[in-house]
Chains A and B, each alone.
Chain A
Amino acid sequence: AQSVSQHNHHVILSEAASLELGCNYSYGGTVNLFWYVQYPGQHLQLLLKYFSGDPLVKGIKGFEAEFIKSKFSFNLRKPSVQWSDTAEYFCAVSASKIIFGSGTRLSIRP
């Protein structure tokens, strides 16, 4: 069965700090991996996705993620966060169906 774990439930950073959010998944076969973002009061939007090829993928708004197959991980990174990055971030795995992690709430101090 597919499952996804996000290690950080709430992360608080100052503007310009670097960000890394953890995501681990379990599934025995080939998967597609995603990070979605949900700004306050809005629906989920795709940040980036990994299907195959280069394990370092770049998304919108300066975000990137690295797929490490041996660790079943797909961590999200951003070198310098902005106040506007305040949101909830969800990692997702797609195999037979799309399963989401429990989410990480990111708060940015101005």
Chain B
Amino acid sequence: DAGITQSPRHKVTETGTPVTLRCHQTENHRYMYWYRQDPGHGLRLIHYSYGVKDTDKGEVSDGYSVSRSKTEDFLLTLESATSSQTSVYFCAINRGGENTEAFFGQGTRLTVV
């Protein structure tokens, strides 16, 4: 498996609290992604990064922010968690350029009560 670690793996939080999820890679890959997985919706892209301090929005970015201050870490922050953000969050990495696939982390199950 690619060297991707997501933390925490499980979290329960209250509505209105801030939450930060961490994705750490040891592969030195350029691209990093955050997705959320919900039944019937597959994986939807939240934000992605194409380099240190370079990020862009995905399909469902409202309510989320990201930061990438170094190659190996990509942080996803929910500024004020809502119940609609209860989901499983996956981080993925990709070397970039042509002919490369994404490798996924184990996922973080987040419950907002």
Which residue numbers of A lie inside 8 Å of B, CB to CB? 6, 9, 32, 34, 36, 43-46, 49, 51-52, 90, 92, 94, 97-103
B45 within 8 A of A: yes
B43 within 8 A of A: yes
A34-B105 contact given A98-B33, A98-B45, CB 8 Å threshold? no
The majority secondary structure among interface residues of chain A is strand
Any A CB within 8 A of the CB of B41: yes
Q: How far is the CA of A110 from the CA of B59 in the complex (A)?
A: 38
Q: CA A75 – CA B94 in complex, angstroms? A: 23
B99 within 8 A of A: yes
Partner of A100, one of B42, B56, B107: B42
Known contacts A43-B90, A43-B107, A44-B90: does B42 contact A98 (CB below 8 Å)?
Answer: no
Known contacts A43-B90, A43-B107, A44-B104; is-contact A101 B42 (Cβ 8 Å): yes
* Top-10 shortest CB links A-B: A102-B42, A100-B43, A103-B42, A51-B99, A44-B104, A43-B104, A100-B42, A43-B106, A98-B102, A46-B101
Name the residue of chain B whose CB is nearest to the CB of A51: B99
* Closest partner residue, chain A, to B88 (CB atom): A43
Are A102 and B92 in contact (CB-based, < 8 A)?
A: no
Instruction: Enumerate chain A residues within 8 angstroms of B56, measured Cβ to Cβ.
Output: 97
Given A43-B106, A44-B104, A46-B101: A90 in contact with B58 (beta carbons within 8 A): no
Return the CB mask of B75-113 against A: 1 if under 8 Å, else 0: 000000000000000101010001111111111000000
Q: Is B74 on the interface with A (CB-CB < 8 A)? A: no
Q: Which of B39-77 contact A (CB under 8 A)?
A: 40-45, 48, 56, 58-59
The reply to whether B45 and A99 form a contact with Cβ atoms under 8 Å apart is yes
